[in-house]
Amino acid sequence: MAGKFEIYEDKAGEFRFRLKAGNGENILASEGYKQKASCENGIESVRKNAGDDDRYERKETAAGKFMFNLKAANGQVIGTSQSYTSASGRDNGIESVKKNAADAKLDDQTA
């Protein structure tokens, strides 16, 4: 099963997207956007930047977990991962974003 982007509206009334892997697991989440068009632009930016390993900021949290941010060419964060218990889990998450983002279907849950 292929990955998909879901657009949804959060409790604050902002638009967000998440990228889900083929198995349904969330692998990347966005910030909140005031406009739906801005959220859609964020998805296109993920599609454009996901294949470039240099766009991934690999981090360790204060709690000793591992996560990553996907950044656009201008350095702005366009997506954030969940926390992983190991660096290898985080790296697998990055590979999953690379594999799924380019041709992921769009599931607009606000329509």
Sign of the four-CA dihedral 44, 106, 103, 66: positive
- Which pLDDT band, with edges at 50, 70 and 90, does 2 fall under? confident
List pLDDT tens digits, range 23-72: 999 999 999 999 999 999 999 999 999 999 999 999 999 999 999 999 99
Domain chopping of the chain, boundaries: 4-105
Task: Please state, for a pLDDT cut of 70, what percent of the chain lies above it.
Answer: 99
The rounded distance, in Å, linking the Cα atoms of 61 and 2 is 30
- Domain 4-105 carries which CATH code? 2.30.29.80
> Which residues, in sequence order, are bridge partners of residue 8?
16
The rounded distance, in Å, linking the Cα atoms of 61 and 79 is 16
The pTM for the full model equals: 0.93
